Chains A and B, each alone.
Chain A
């Protein structure tokens, strides 16, 4: 989609068009529909199935999760491409924003797949708790990711608010190595106006501050993921080199 340039502050019509476009992009690129997740909410892994995951070797489970994570990232790439103005950015800046932001958006989106009533997440077609991921050998990362999902769910965002927040996470002019920071800044500024407009309309202005607080948590979770990957790749360099998805390696190693 084209990004219509307009004077600042943007007109109400422009804000509403931008909001609609982001919401549509989010809906069209979500890996799972909310109704689908809701219907499967109590489809839990059996004891035997959990045991099978826990019996996988560290490298087997890392590979399995790297494949799942890469699938989720691919949907985020599609989302980014449909954010008005994103494709108008230089290729370097598109890559930079996705390299630094795709995992953050995956984590935000993960909260849609989370059941707070029993602390389980949708994975491989069923819901499972942190115990499912035991063989990864990074319990602290998993607990931190689940805690984050809990805190996101507590905000009870609508799909529209979630869509806007995901676009804000991605379109971040503070990322290092951007060539046209000004252009990213202008996109970001309009998205911020959209979020304020939406929260005002929903009478939930207090959410704005809470959402901006999540940004630093996201960044620390991503650092922890890269730290764990570094630890893993030192122990299993061949696994990373030969069987991890190429996109995962490009983004995270």
Chain B
């Protein structure tokens, strides 16, 4: 899933602002 959802994965990795 991570491979198919790179943008979502990146958003999830970002720390919350």
CA distance A18 to B16 in the complex (A): 18
Q: A92-B2, A95-B1 are in contact. Are A250 and B12 (CB under 8 A)?
A: no
Residues of A within 8 A of B4 (CB): 250
Binds B, one of A75-83, A165-173, A196-204: A75-83
| Interface residues contributed by chain B, number (CB under 8 Å) | 12
Contact B16 A250 (CB under 8 A): no
Contact B2 A250 (CB under 8 A): no
Q: Please provide the chain B residues from 3 to 17 with a CB less than 8 Å away from any CB of chain A in the complex.
A: 4-9, 11-12, 16-17
Q: Which of A82, A177, A251 contacts B8 (CB 8 A)?
A: A251
Residues of B within 8 A of A91 (CB): 1-2, 9, 12
Verify if A120 is at the interface (C-beta below 8 Å from B).
Answer: no
Contact B8 A96 (CB under 8 A): no
Contact B9 A95 (CB under 8 A): yes
CA distance A77 to B1 in the complex (A): 16
Q: Which of A95, A177, A246, A251 contacts B12 (CB 8 A)?
A: A95
26 residue pairs of the A-B complex, CB under 8 angstroms, read A77-B8, A78-B16, A81-B12, A81-B16, A87-B12, A91-B1, A91-B9, A91-B12, A92-B1, A95-B1, A95-B2, A95-B5, A95-B8, A95-B12, A96-B1, A98-B12, A99-B1, A99-B5, A99-B8, A246-B7, A247-B7, A250-B4, A250-B5, A250-B6, A250-B7, A250-B8
Residues in B lying within 8 Å of A, measured CB to CB: 1-2, 4-9, 11-12, 16-17
Residues in A lying within 8 Å of B, measured CB to CB: 74, 77-78, 81-82, 87, 91-92, 94-96, 98-99, 177, 246-247, 250-251
* Known interface pairs A81-B12, A92-B1; 9 further A-B residue pairs with C-beta atoms within 8 A, sorted by A's residue number: A77-B12, A81-B16, A91-B12, A94-B12, A95-B8, A99-B8, A177-B1, A247-B7, A251-B8
